[in-house]
């Protein structure tokens, strides 16, 4: 099934392979993207219609999934910890990427996809954890836990996307300090946050977060947001060196990806 989905989609859309450079890589991405989304979302059929359509929509609309592969952010990281992992989309995405790459279906100029030995996830919502386990099967390593107090163990890379602003400033620092303790000297933290200096677009982001929280039955939440400079200052205090990369492409938000190396 996987082979037919990926091969047929790419064979029908990919152009000649003689060209090279950014334009060719982008053309390849447009050809590979539908197969990747199909492969990554297909397991969620086992978890119900909502899980399946949420996976497709999220993978199609969120630019971070392309960025992880195109920039090779997790390349060479054998043990990955995904904090606030939801229904486990990162695991499904990396599995699909490895499958496509093995069959030669991959954008030119992109690094090989990461081939982690373990991907552990932590998620507060029991409903999301159940969806992850139904979709991803026996190899799914997603546990229900509150990351404000759960032990992290050790990892070579930690993902923390769109999570910290739901916590108090004290909890934000505590989580980042424990992430640093879980990483080796050259460990990696991939952190996505909103930029509180983003004006109207930031206010839209904050309003959207509140609507989502209400829809999930969590009520009105007090969000604790920072400017990018303030986030980077906090990371330095927790012994990380970070660089900021815009991560709002195709969305109306002010999201920024902070690539943080353990110092």
Tens of pLDDT, residues 25-72: 789 999 999 999 999 999 999 999 999 999 999 999 999 999 999 999
- pLDDT tens for each residue of 189-241: 999 999 989 777 667 776 666 666 656 666 667 789 999 999 999 999 999 99
Domain boundary among 145, 174, 205: 145
Shared-domain flag, residues 4 and 20: yes
Residue 74 has pLDDT above 50, yes or no: yes
Q: Are 7 and 106 members of one domain?
A: yes
Domain boundary among 145, 178, 201: 145
- Whose CA is closest to 61, among 255, 200, 258, 259? 255
Q: CATH code at 161? A: 3.40.50.150
Considering the entire predicted model, what is its pTM? 0.88
Give the containing element (helix H, strand E) for 50. helix 49-61
- What would the pLDDT profile of 90-114 be if each residue is shown by its tens digit? 999 999 999 999 999 999 999 999 9
**Structurally, how many domains does the chain consist of?**
2
Whether 128 and 189 map to the same domain: the answer is no
Same domain, residue pair 44 and 159: no
Segment 78-88, tens digit of pLDDT:
999 999 999 99
Same domain, 135 and 187: no
Nearest to 25 by CA among 196, 33, 249: 33
Which pLDDT value is given to residue 6?
Answer: 43
User: 145, 179, 199: which is the final residue of a domain?
Assistant: 145
For residue 171, how far is the Cα from the chain centroid? Answer: 21
Domain extent for 200: 150-263
Return the pLDDT at 25. Answer: 79
How many Å apart are CA 226 and CA 232, to the nearest integer?
10
| DSSP string of 154-193, one letter each residue | --SEEEEES-GGGS-HHHHHHHHHHHHHHS-TT-EEEEEE
Give the neighbor-by-neighbor strand order of the sheet with 157-161: 141-144, 118-123, 79-83, 157-161, 188-194, 255-262, 240-246
Contact by Cβ (8 Å): 205, 223: no
């Amino acid at each position: 099934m996987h082979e037919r989905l990926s091969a047929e989609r790419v064979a029908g859309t990919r152009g000649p392979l003689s060209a090279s450079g950014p334009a060719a890589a982008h053309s390849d991405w447009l050809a590979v993207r539908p197969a990747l989304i199909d492969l990554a979302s297909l397991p969620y059929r086992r978890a119900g219609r909502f899980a399946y359509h949420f996976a497709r929509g999220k993978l199609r609309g969120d630019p971070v999934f392309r960025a992880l592969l195109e920039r090779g952010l997790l390349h060479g990281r054998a043990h990955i910890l995904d904090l606030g992992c939801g229904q486990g989309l990162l695991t499904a995405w990396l599995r699909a990427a490895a499958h496509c790459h093995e069959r030669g279906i991959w954008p030119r100029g992109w690094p090989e996809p990461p081939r982690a030995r373990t991907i552990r996830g932590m998620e507060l919502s029991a409903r999301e954890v159940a969806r992850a386990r139904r979709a991803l099967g026996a190899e799914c390593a997603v546990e229900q836990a509150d990351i404000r107090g759960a032990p992290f163990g050790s990892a070579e890379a930690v993902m923390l996307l769109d999570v910290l602003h739901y916590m108090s400033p004290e909890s934000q620092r505590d989580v980042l300090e424990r992430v640093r303790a879980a990483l080796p000297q050259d460990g990696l933290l991939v952190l996505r946050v909103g930029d509180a200096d983003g004006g109207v677009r930031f206010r839209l982001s904050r309003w959207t977060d509140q609507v989502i929280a209400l829809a999930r039955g969590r009520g009105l939440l007090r969000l604790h947001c920072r400017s990018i400079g303030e986030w980077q200052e906090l990371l330095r205090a927790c012994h990380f060196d970070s660089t900021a990369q815009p991560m709002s492409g195709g969305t109306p938000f002010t999201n920024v990806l902070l690539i943080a190396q353990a110092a």
